[in-house]
Amino acid sequence: MKDYLKYLLILPPALLCGVAVILSHQKKTPATDEIRAVTESDRSAWLMLQGWNGELISFRPVTVPAEVTETYQIYAGLQERQRLPLMQYAGKHGVLYTYQLENSDLYAELLTADGILIGAQCYRSGEGKTLTMHGNPVTEIPESYLR
């Protein structure tokens, strides 16, 4: 009877320790990817990984909106699907880089902050549609938002 009681007292803590060890060794996947975007070569390399070559045509400082509007929610959803951390930078300053993509009528916009890529989209000027970086249409976005 004493042996049964001893095992009853030892077994639960031993099981908890085992579960803790197993959980601590599981690979944790980040919610988003941090993609270095400090230099022009960083940004060009990322574009090439997406299958695009482009020429930088402009860049400008921007502030990531802190207030979530319907249009911004659509754009933020696109970034989330691309595993880019836009929402973590709400209200912060960044830089928006615009590229003319080679052999196409597409433009790419790369949004960076703190040296990492936080947003990206492709679009055709004047169409009011935004595209994933692989050229798949996402949704209608007003022209005023794109430019």
- Domain extents in the chain: 40-146
CA dihedral 119, 123, 129, 130 (to 10 degrees): -20
Report d(CA 40, CA 45) in Å as an integer. Answer: 8
Instruction: Choose among 1, 5, 3, 138: nearest CA to 73.
Output: 138
Q: For strand 54-63 and strand 116-124, is the pairing parallel, antiparallel, or unpaired?
A: unpaired
SS3 58: strand
pTM of this prediction?
A: 0.68
Phi (first) and psi of residue 131, to 5 degrees: -125, 155
Please name the amino acid found at residue 9. L
pLDDT in tens, 41-88: 999 999 999 889 999 999 999 999 888 888 888 888 889 988 999 999
pLDDT in tens, 87-137: 999 999 999 999 999 988 889 999 999 999 999 998 887 765 555 555 444
